[in-house]
Structure 1
Amino acid sequence: MEAKAIEAVCRRATEDDIDTLAELIAGYAAKGIMLPRSRETLKRQIDTFVVAEIGDEIVGCGSLTRLGTDLVEVRSLGISEGYKGLGIGSKLVDQLIYEAKRQGIPKIMALTYEVRFFEKNGFAVVNKEIFPEKVWTDCVNCPKQHACDEIAVLKMLN
């Protein structure tokens, strides 16, 4: 595929995006690198999602989930095949950081297999046990709970 000169634009997701979001997330979930999200969950949480578009095609997504008064998590961050390595993920993370700052939240974290990507975007690797909010809300129900191989990253927002 030739290099894309077209710029991706990030925007808040709408209910019209649910089917595309479900398909994109399902592709990652099938590989075991993202938790699945049902259409019902996506509909309930649509206001937490942003999408990246090139033309009228959604090529990426991400969401921001509040874990406490001072902490949010980047979730469901994914880019469509053929569009990786073009800076779209960084644009989505920038949009999520903007939203966290807008809400006055000083810390943003993620659990990831893509540590270098997050480090490039200003995050630092931390011990995941410093996030009891995450452990008690999500990890207790995760099939990988006792053998989690994801790496925790954190960025302090000013």
Structure 2
Amino acid sequence: MSVICRKALPQDVEALFELIQGYAANGIMLPRSREALTRNIDTFIVAQDGDRLIGCGSLCRLGVDLVEIRSLGIVDGYKGQGVGSRLVDALIEEARVLGIPKVMALTYEAAFFQKNGFHIVEKEIFPEKVWTDCVNCPKQHCCDEIAVVRLIEVPQGNENLSFAQI
């Protein structure tokens, strides 16, 4: 297996859509339309084995010092082989380059995130998330996801750059 992680490209949209839809069909991930994926392709990192896209994850800016890892998924057959951790490492590095010191996620796989340096916290400490996404979620009043956060050191001078500035 020769997996590489790289920035997503427009030609990855269909594979991203199929991967995310598989998770969404099982109620594990929110669905994303092809149009939304195309608009936000610059926020995605993908894992690739040869010519095959085998995983993905994205960063969504929620505030000046906070990003959320979203749409983190791996195709069947590659789970448990370190691909998810490699994607998280790439997303953490992207947050570092952007100068954003807090990375959070809402997950059903808290142990995975803890293995990758995250800590379980109360969802309510992220009003940026609650008021932008959770307010419109069908699980708003019965959310069973676990909030995790990781603080990272960012290079001096890179604090709070926008995605467009990178």
- Same fold by TM-score, threshold 0.5 exceeded? yes
Matching residue of 1:124: 119
Q: What is the CA–CA distance in structure 2 between the aligned matches of 1:154 and 1:104, rounded to whole Å?
A: 16
Match of 1:91 in 2: 86
Count of residues in correspondence between the two structures: 153
The CA RMSD measured in Å over matched residues stands at: 0.4
What are the residue-to-residue correspondences of 1:104-143 with 2, within 5 Å? 104-143=99-138
Report % sequence identity: 68
1:1-56, Cα deviation, whole Å (9 max, x unpaired): xxxxx121000001100000000000000000000000000000000001000001
Partner Cα distance (1:33, 1:59) in 2:
17
CA distance in structure 1 between the partners assigned to 2:3 and 2:119 by the alignment: 26
- Aligned equivalents of 1:112, 1:8: Cα separation in 2: 24
Counterpart of 2:93 in 1: which secondary structure?
A: helix
SS in 2 for 1:95: helix
Q: Normalising to structure 1: TM-score of the pair?
A: 0.96
Report what 1:102 is aligned to: 97
Secondary structure of 2:46's aligned partner = strand
Q: Distance in 2 between matches of 1:86 and 1:130?
A: 32
Structure 1 residue runs without a partner (length 5+) = 1-5
In 2, Cα distance between the equivalents of 1:150 and 1:122?
18
Unmatched 5+ residue regions in structure 2?
154-166
User: Take 2:2 and 2:105, find their aligned partners in 1: how far apart are those partners?
Assistant: 26
Distance, in Å, in 2 between the alignment partners of 1:16 and 1:135 is: 32
- The partner residue of 1:10 within 5, 25, 30 is 5
Q: Which residue of 1 aligns with 2:47?
A: 52
* Segments ≥4 residues shifted beyond 4 Å: none
1:3 is matched with which residue? none
Task: Read off the aligned partner of 1:58 and give its amino acid letter.
Answer: L
SS at match of 2:147: strand
Look up the equivalent residue of 2:117 and give its one-letter code: G
